[in-house]
A and B are shown apart, each in its own frame.
Chain A
Amino acid sequence: MIKFKNVTKTYGEVVALKDVSFEVKDGEFVFLMGPSGAGKTTVLKLILGEIRPDSGEVLFGTTNVAKIAEKDLPKLRQKIGCVFQDFKLLNERTVAENVEIALAVLEVSESKWPERIEKVLKVVGLSTRKDFFPAQLSGGELQRASLARALVVNPDLILADEPTGNLDWDTADEMMNLLEKVNKEGKTVIMATHNKEIVAKMKKRVIKLAGGKIIKT
């Protein structure tokens, strides 16, 4: 599903990734692990097409994201569900509205929204919070709302950038259980984290990064 071939990315003098190659297969759950500045977020941004590599190829299926046209980026991103450390929810919209915006982006018929929103909020356990605004939710609930928005579009791939970074252990554990459940339903999950306890508990494949290089795949 995802293939990095000799990818190098620099920010001025700083080398974020150097000649990185790895592959993630369909339905896999992969942790990107490493300390801050190791290049984890850069990998996720490259998959999303937020940034372009200096050299190498980033393949999403058969599409080379490194060379994708600007106008084709939305279509690529619609296949990816993103969960961020800072949640990136729209503060002026309720939980249900935050989820429905993903459906609107995908141009799903409005008549199908209520059913899909209800279903996904049930999966993440936020059915009773659907009319709450982000300011009224706890950290764990915010992250679950973010996951609901990612899942509602039925993406091929879930990218999670430190999704447990702002959560306590119990809430982080709940979040991981949800991601595992999603993965078991057939979605590919790539999660960036530096939380060794979570990685150890989940027993999934780990790609270790340090100083922009892969030290373990």
Chain B
Amino acid sequence: MNFHLKTAVNSIKRFPFQALAAIFVLIITFFVGSILSVLIYSSANILKYFETRPQVIAFLKDGVTTEAISALQHKLSNDTRVKEIRYVSKEEALSIYKNATIDNPLLGELVDPSIFPASLEFSLADLSKAKDVIAEVKGEAVVESVGFTANLGGEKSLGDVVERLKKATFYIRLGGGIFAGLLVGTSFLVLVVTLSMRIAVRRDEAAILNLIGAKKSFIRNPIILESIIYVLTGVVVGWLLTLISVLYLAPAVINYFGEIQVLPREPLKLFLLLGFILGIEIVGGIILALAGSNLALSRSRRSR
């Protein structure tokens, strides 16, 4: 084992409780950090789903000709604000209704296809353009009325739903960021305090090493390595806890959210996401370790 690494490991063994305190705080920090990263990914996906999937339904007047419908469909398909246009006939509308009332077949049997209007369903590329598009579609001669899919709660609430989602996502990011920032700050301070104690204990050793010709780096390296050992242990254990939690909860979460892809469904993509988080945390962790050890070392130099 490298001499400096051996010195760092011996130092940890010599004062295990200080080391454990630092490592536990770092584990919590990186566990929460990993979970927050997954939450931010999921919330971004939920928002993206609702931003891109709200369906506008243009209900058509009875007796409208196929040519008129085709003309409107063609016009909308050329509109860059509109995407995924689909014509739903009266029969299809009845079928949708029957599927929706499958638990109560009587409701399905009591209705006639003629009461359901044919419609053109489409989604919007950008929800901020919704009002303009709806107003324009409403003005079309073949359109009776314009509505939205039921799960969005109707035309007036469409903006509210997306706004609420945007706010929720913003607060998850802001709150999560503040919380993670506090944890990182706490970890940093614990790291600096632990390393400062180590340096204080090793002050005589440093003086002796200095006398026998040790360079500054020779005295500093074990402290920096010790800091990196703490942080990397925190990162790896925190990440493993996240991995276990995600693997345990993923089936239920994916099932609950249905077609909204809150987490990657393919195991490889899920591991890629978590691997990306691990990579970022290792880089961030090493920066934290270097900053913490350098601050502790510079404080010890000033106090000499």
Contacts and interface: CB of A to CB of B under 8 A. Distances in A.
Interface of A: 48, 50, 73-80, 82, 88-90, 92, 100-102, 104-106, 110, 149, 153
A75 B213 contact: yes
A106 B218 contact: no
B52 interface: no
Interface string B68-79: 000000000000
Closest 7 CB pairs of A and B: A77-B213, A78-B213, A105-B214, A104-B3, A74-B213, A74-B215, A88-B208
Interface of B: 3, 10, 14, 205, 208-209, 211-215, 218
Nearest to A102: B212
B214 A74 contact: yes
A100 B4 CA distance: 12
B259 to A, nearest CB: 60
A149 B212 contact: yes
A101 B219 CA distance: 11
A90 B205 CA distance: 6
Contacts of B209: 101, 105
Contacts of B10: 92
Main secondary structure of the interface of A (DSSP, over half): helix
B18 to A, nearest CB: 15
A74 B210 CA distance: 7
A48 B205 contact: no
Contacts of A77: 211-213
Contact of A50 (B211, B214, B218): B211
10 contacts: A76-B213, A77-B211, A78-B212, A78-B213, A82-B211, A88-B208, A92-B10, A102-B212, A105-B212, A110-B3
A100 B1 CA distance: 14
Given A90-B205, A104-B218, A105-B218, A82 B212 contact: yes
Contacts of B214: 74, 105
A153 B209 CA distance: 14
A204 to B, nearest CB: 25
A16 to B, nearest CB: 19
